[in-house]
């Protein structure tokens, strides 16, 4: 039997404890007789179901017993059976106080029958078991409450964690949407620029053909006229043609149809070397600051085109600063940090000013050809588009940062390269070379004006010239006339210049060839032509003669 169901006996006189134990033992109860009130208190603390106490045994110090009773848990109300002596009238006040201190007391007056005693004990134990059950239920409820509290805390933690995960996923999604929108905008802008570039490249090619005719015939007029007034008028026309040629160069740079002579360039030396040019161009009202980078970056660039790009940016900055300000040109080495550039190092030229800045609504338009905020007649709108074309054709890009009203910062990013030693200065320019009498030149060009200009120029220089308007007829004349040199245009219907060059090389691999072009698929040209044998349109009589002499001289040297 469990210790919690023991029957504790406190009967300090005679054989009362022994007799009660015999009666209860026969009824199946486990009994323990206590020798004092303090022992009773100790045993109750250990565990018991009921205490059977004689009244006279309580005439002792009850401090420890009452202390335990007062401290018992809320579920417990320990039962006592008090065997009292039968008396007449009410109990004394001190006896009543003892009963009140004991709490759950059943009083049985003696003499008492054994069955009555056993029944009272059984009833008290039943009540005590109920208390134990209540205790267990309370423990179960407490445990369940603890578990529920833990679950609630865990649920809150999981909710917070899941909320954080959802928030992070939402942030990633928002960033991805933003990146896609920016990429889409960049793609649309790139497609627009590509379409405009193709259009401007085609226009520039046609203009180059026209300007070649204009330049050439103006040269011929100036060479052959004896009238000073006619020569002066031709000079004015040439000045206008020069401006038109610059415009076509800008168009070709934007459309990336113009071949750049990419070589290692010392950015610090290039920028510092432009000091005098910038000072003369910008004027004294603008303070010019040069800040060459300490890391001395070298980049792959066309030095002349890069100087032109920096000059264009400087002029734009001057116009934005009005009556005065500070123009700062700096260089540095940097690393690509976005998807618009290939990974690797870049040399950066920064042109910044203290002018009015660019409104945010116009930032995306500044590279569009012919877009300008300047008054009519003050700008072509091709300066920044040319800068953009030069940078992209060189493998870099252009970046603009311009908080409105705080000036503009424009950066040209170009691929870094290793420094190279300075090349020695040439001893002298190309000298006129002696040539054999009546060397034969085959000219193939579909543009009648350009073709006639080349024919007139070469015949005026003493060459025998055969001309053709297309590649097929030109190859026929090649077999019939056995020329010393072929000059062929690139863009022609039917066979283009590269295809003609390929056929000529197949039959006469040592025959010198000059390819004349305003723009071209330079990858295709590079596959068959030495860059030194590409004559850029528009060209003048002197340019043509120099190219012809150099090509014939190389063939004679071989």
Beta-bridged to residue 32, according to DSSP, are 8
Tell me the per-residue pLDDT of 487-539, one tens digit each, with 9 for 90 and over: 999 888 888 888 999 999 998 988 999 998 876 556 677 777 887 888 887 88
Distance CA 341, CA 155 (A): 48
pLDDT given at position 432: 39
Tell me the per-residue pLDDT of 176-192, one tens digit each, with 9 for 90 and over: 998 888 778 766 766 76
Query: Would you say 319 and 378 are in contact if contact means Cβ atoms under 8 Å apart?
Result: yes
Tell me the per-residue pLDDT of 36-80, one tens digit each, with 9 for 90 and over: 999 999 999 999 999 999 988 888 888 899 999 999 998 889 999
Closest CA relative to residue 19, chosen from 138, 112, 103:
112
pLDDT given at position 406: 78
Helix boundaries (H) for 47-89: 63-71
Distance CA 398, CA 544 (A): 35
Domains defined for the chain, CATH in brackets: 3-112 (3.40.50.2300), 262-415 (3.30.565.10), 440-557 (3.40.50.2300)
Beta-bridged to residue 204, according to DSSP, are none
- pTM beyond 0.85: the answer is no
pLDDT given at position 380: 45
pLDDT given at position 109: 85
Helix boundaries (H) for 371-496: 383-393, 448-460, 471-481
Give the residues of the chain that fall short of pLDDT 50: 256, 375-381, 425-436
Distance CA 193, CA 195 (A): 5
Contacts of range 192-195, beta carbons closer than 8 Å, 24 or more positions apart: 193/367, 193/368, 193/388
**Cα atoms found within 13 Å of the Cα of residue 489, Cβ hemisphere only:** 32
Closest CA relative to residue 457, chosen from 381, 527, 394, 541:
541
pLDDT given at position 435: 45
Query: Would you say 248 and 254 are in contact if contact means Cβ atoms under 8 Å apart?
Result: no
pLDDT given at position 370: 57
Distance CA 11, CA 5 (A): 19
In the chain, the N- to C-terminal Cα span, in Å, equals 125
List, as one string, the DSSP characters of 284-327.
TTEEEEEE--TT--EEEE-HHHHHHHHHHHHHHHHHHHTT-EEE
């Amino acid at each position: 039997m469990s210790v919690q169901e023991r029957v504790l006996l406190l009967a300090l006189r005679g054989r009362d404890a022994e007799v009660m134990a015999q009666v209860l033992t026969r009824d199946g109860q486990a009994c323990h007789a206590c020798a004092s009130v303090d022992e009773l208190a100790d045993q109750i603390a250990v565990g018991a179901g009921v205490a059977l106490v004689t009244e006279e045994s309580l005439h002792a110090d009850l401090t420890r017993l009452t202390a335990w009773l007062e401290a018992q848990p809320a579920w417990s109300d320990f039962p006592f059976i008090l065997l009292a002596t039968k008396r007449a009238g009410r109990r004394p006040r001190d006896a009543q106080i003892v009963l009140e201190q004991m709490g759950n007391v059943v009083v049985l007056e003696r003499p008492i029958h054994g069955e009555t005693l056993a029944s009272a004990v059984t009833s008290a134990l039943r009540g005590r078991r109920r208390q134990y059950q209540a205790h267990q239920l309370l423990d179960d409820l407490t445990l369940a409450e603890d578990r529920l509290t833990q679950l609630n805390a865990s649920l809150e933690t999981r909710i917070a964690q899941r909320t954080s995960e959802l928030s992070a996923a939402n942030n990633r999604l928002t960033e991805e949407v933003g990146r896609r929108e920016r990429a889409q905008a960049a793609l649309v802008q790139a497609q627009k620029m590509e379409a405009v570039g193709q259009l401007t490249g085609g226009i520039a090619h046609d203009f180059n053909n026209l300007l070649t005719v204009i330049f050439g015939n103006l040269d011929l007029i100036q060479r052959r006229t004896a009238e000073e007034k006619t020569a002066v008028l031709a000079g004015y026309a040439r000045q206008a043609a020069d401006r038109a040629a610059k415009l076509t160069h800008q168009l070709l740079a934007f459309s990336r149809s113009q071949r750049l002579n990419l070589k290692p360039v010392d950015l610090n030396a290039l920028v510092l070397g432009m000091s005098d040019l910038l000072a003369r161009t910008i004027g004294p009202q603008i303070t010019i600051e040069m800040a060459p980078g300490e890391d001395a970056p070298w980049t792959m660039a066309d030095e002349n085109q890069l100087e032109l790009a920096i000059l264009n940016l400087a002029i734009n900055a001057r116009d934005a600063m009005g009556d005065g300000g500070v123009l700062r040109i700096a260089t540095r080495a940097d690393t690509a940090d976005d998807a618009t550039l290939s990974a690797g190092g870049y040399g950066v030229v920064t042109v910044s000013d203290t002018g009015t800045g660019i409104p945010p609504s116009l930032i995306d338009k500044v590279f569009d050809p012919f877009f300008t905020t300047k008054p009519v007649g003050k700008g072509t709108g091709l300066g920044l588009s040319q800068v953009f074309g030069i940078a992209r054709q060189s493998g870099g890009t252009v970046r603009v940062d311009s908080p409105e009203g705080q000036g503009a910062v424009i950066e040209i990013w170009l691929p870094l390269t290793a420094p190279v030693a300075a090349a020695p200065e040439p001893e002298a320019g190309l000298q006129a070379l002696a040539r054999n009498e009546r060397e034969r030149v085959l000219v193939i060009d579909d543009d009648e004006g350009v073709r006639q200009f080349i024919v007139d120029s070469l015949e005026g220089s003493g060459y025998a010239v055969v001309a053709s308007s297309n590649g097929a007829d030109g190859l026929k004349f090649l077999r019939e006339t056995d020329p010393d040199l072929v000059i062929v245009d690139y863009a022609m219907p039917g066979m283009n210049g590269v295809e003609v060059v390929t056929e000529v090389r197949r039959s006469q691999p040592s025959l010198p060839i000059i390819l004349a072009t305003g723009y071209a698929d330079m990858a295709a040209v590079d596959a068959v032509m030495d860059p030194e044998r590409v004559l850029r349109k528009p060209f003048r009589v002197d340019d043509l003669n120099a190219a012809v002499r150099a090509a014939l001289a190389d063939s004679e040297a071989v």
